[in-house]
Each structure stands twice: as structure tokens, then as C-alpha cells.
Structure 1
Amino acid sequence: MSHSSNIKTAGHSLENTEKALIMIHGRGGNATDILSMSAYLNVGDYALLAPQADNYTWYPHSFMAPEQSNEPWLSSAIQVIENTVQLALDKGIKTENIYFFGFSQGACLTLEFLAQHAKRYGGAVAIIGGLIGEEIDLSKYSGDFMQTPIFIGTSDPDFHVPLERVNATVKILEAQNADVKLAVYPNFGHSINQEEITIANQFVFH
């Protein structure tokens, strides 16, 4: 099974702006839900693109399950993000003006895509996520972020995403020359808080 191409849009059209934000929803969520988060972000002049996962999930098992158990859905999900980026590029948006926002499963997917395709983007926000795989396979990751700002917010503990994996993810992104900011909230739960929105706006969408 692979994901169909179903991209919801909001904000400005790609033809009428210079910036695009790609928003990736979590397991059980949908594109419309994640697009509604844009109301809290400084993205009033952006085109907003949110692909929809088939059956509301990008891949069936934990992001730390053996990678093969999440195929072919995982590779298809990565391709969906790549296609969404290409859609913006085809409309004349520059790579350095493409931004990302992912939550939970969408945050894992966002970070995985970025680490596999590191270059100078506008910036990224990943709330509760880490790089994907039972073990992190460094051979998958290449490129230079050229100091792209990446903000990762998480709870400790989080039932789905252990802090150990988040910290390992930060190290890899920094080794790829990303400007990473990490915020850890004790016992906050699997959600997004106001401080994370504030940091996202100050660090990424400024």
C-alpha cells in the first residue's frame, strides 16, 4: 500500500507568495486539523500545504519498530513529503523559503525527511518526534543544513517518543550543520503547549 496524493491547502496560493509551510499531521489526525495550527503561527503571508495520510496514519507501527515492519507505508510517506516540496519548487518557491511543521508521527516523518535531504530550508518545527528506526542508521542521512533553524519540543517522559531518541536526533541534525533548539517539558504529555508556539514563532517563523 502506498499513500495517495491528497494535499490540502490554505493561506496564500503558491503563485502569490514567496514562502511555503508544509504541515504534517500525526497518527489519527488529519490535514485539516494540522492546518488549523497555522492560526497560532506567524505564517500569515505563507502558502500552507498539508498532505493527508491514507487511513489517517503514515505508517502502522511505532517509529522505533524495525523499519521493514513499517514498509511500504514509510517510504511512501517520505515520498509524499518530497512530492509536496517539489510542488512548491515547481511554483517558484525557493528551497530556503520552504518551512515544515510536524506533530508526533508527523514530527518523526518531518525530521526523517529533512535528515535524508539536508539543505538550506527556511526552518522546521517538530513537536514530539525523532528520527525513525529501531536503531538510527547514520548511512541514510546526508547533506548540509547550512544552519537551517530546527526547533524540537517534547515531553519527558513521552509514551511514544523517548527523550533518548530525541537527544540522539538533535546530535545528528547538528552534525549536519542545523541550528537546533530543543525544549523539554517535564510530564507535559503528548500535546503542544503555548511556549512551544512562542519559540516556534521567534526561532523559525520570524
Structure 2
Amino acid sequence: MHQEPIRTAGQPLSAATKALILLHGRGGSAADILSLSAHLHVPGFALLAPQASANTWYPHSFLAPTTQNEPYLTAALAAVGRVVAEAENQGLTKENLYFLGFSQGACLTLEYVARHATRYGGVVAFTGGVIGDKVNPDNYAGDFAGTPVFLGTSDPDFHVPVERVHASTELLRSLGADVTEQVYPHMGHTITQEEIKMANQLIFKQPQD
């Protein structure tokens, strides 16, 4: 499962100085999430988006016990790992790898980087949290060494309780990430221009006017 070819845009990996791995949400697609890059400050980036089988990374809520989402969750994490390996095979270091996800893709993004904490270029999670019925710090290891992370979410959100976003922020900070968490009242389950602006400034270092 989750074995479809990686969709790409931006610079070819062989010529890129940085790579952004984009993870789509439940019911979305690699093409959908790649289209978001038109609004991101990512010149010189290779854009890489894996595709979930049947457009879903795992079948149940991210708040379900992880065993209920297996073997899909393990396969989803492996799919992200394959994209990372492809970028590294082309000579990019982890410090030049960036991650972005929305909704289910944001949850997968946070789960992957927290399980493999190291100095990345940056991480963006639009409405998501680490996966499982509870946050178990023993599942995570490594040191983000100051990796900038942006978490944006709505309160309330039907799929992602703000309490899990807070817990995810706490976990990432405990692993050495430089986390900016922004909660937007009644934003809805979407990505807003304000969130994109924050991501561009904090993660992709777009110069401010």
C-alpha cells in the first residue's frame, strides 16, 4: 500500500538546493497538496508528494489506538521515509529537507518527524497532531536541534482537538524543536492565507515587506 510514484514539481531533485515533502489529507491527493506550493516561498526547492492508496493514509481517526490503524500507519510512515531517502540519494542533507502536511497529512508529518527527530530545514503542520489515543514520549527520540516548526489549527476543529495540538507542541519542544503554535478561533477545517503567511515567514524565510 501507498506505493504509487511520487508526484513532483518545482526543481528537479538533481538540481535543487532544498526539498519540501508535502503530505495530503484524507480524501485528498498528491496533486492537490502540490498545488499549495504556488502560495509558498519555495524558490529552488524540489517539491515531492507521495500519494496514499485510496487517498487515505490510515482508515481510522488519528486519535484511535495505533494498532487500529495498522498496517496502514506503518506503510504510510514508510512511504514518507522513501521520499526522504530519495532526496538524500540525490545529495540533499536533512538540514535541507522540509515537511508540510494538512489534516491527516499534518498528523502523518508530525508523527514521522517526531519519530525521526533531527535538524531539518523546517516543518509545517496545518491542523494536525501526533498520532495515537495518547501521546507516549517513549515512542519518540532524537534532537530537532532548533528545527523551526509551525502548527496552525482551529479551535474548535471537528477532527483535531486543540488539546492534541497543545500536547504535540509540548512533545516537539521536548525534542528540541523551535515551535510556533497558532490557534485560530472558529477557523474551520481549512488552510487560510494567514497560516500560509506565517509558514512563509517562519519556515520558508520569506522576506517581509
The TM tier, using the shorter chain, reads over 0.9
Q: CA deviation at 1:44?
A: 2.1
Whether contact under 8 Å (2:4, 2:53) holds in the other structure is no
Runs of 4+ in structure 1 deviating by more than 3 angstroms, as ranges, are: none
Q: Alignment RMSD, CA only?
A: 0.6
In the superposition, the TM-score normalised over structure 1's length comes to: 0.98
- Aligned-pair CA distance for 1:47: 0.3
Structure 2: give runs of 5+ residues left out of the alignment.
Answer: none
Q: What residue is the counterpart of 1:191 in the other structure?
A: 190
Q: Match for residue 150 of structure 2?
A: 151
Over the matched positions of the two proteins, sequence identity in percent amounts to 56
Q: 1:91, 1:5 → 2: CA distance?
A: 20
Deviation at 1:200, TM superposition (A): 0.4
Q: In the TM superposition, what are the counterparts of 1:90-109 in structure 2 within 5 Å?
A: 90-109=89-108
Contact 1:18 1:94 in 2 (8 A): no
SS of the equivalent of 1:15 reads coil
| AA aligned opposite 1:177 | G
Displacement of 1:5: 3.9
Separation in structure 1 between the aligned mates of residue 193 and residue 2 of structure 2, nearest angstrom: 32
Equivalent residue letter for 2:107: C
What corresponds to 1:174 in structure 2?
Answer: 173
Alignment of 1:82-97 (within 5 A): 82-97=81-96
Q: Given residue 204 of structure 1, which amino acid in structure 2 is its aligned partner?
A: I
Matching residue's letter, 1:66: P
Partners of 2:111 and 2:148 in 1: CA distance: 16
Q: Distance in 2 between matches of 1:94 and 1:66?
A: 33
1:69, distance to aligned residue in structure 2 (A): 0.8
Q: Aligned residue for 1:16?
A: 15
Listed one character per residue, the Cα deviations across residues 101-134 of structure 1 (whole Å, up to 9, x for unaligned) are 1000000000000000000000010000001001
Which amino acid is the alignment partner of residue 105 of structure 2?
G
- The yes-or-no answer on 1:32 pairing with 2:31 is yes
Corresponding residue of 1:50: 49
Distance 1:7 1:38 in 2: 16
Corresponding position of 2:164 = 165
Measure the CA separation in 2 of the matches of 1:154 and 1:83.
28
> Matched residues in 1 for 2:134 and 2:41: separation?
35
Query: C-alpha separation between the residues in 2 aligned to 1:19 and 1:178?
Result: 19
Deviations 1:3-60 (A, max 9, x none): 2142100000011111000000000000000000000000121000000000000000
The aligned runs of 1:90-129 (5 Å cut-off) are 90-129=89-128
Structure 1: 5+ residue stretches without partners: none
1:181 CA drift (Å): 0.2
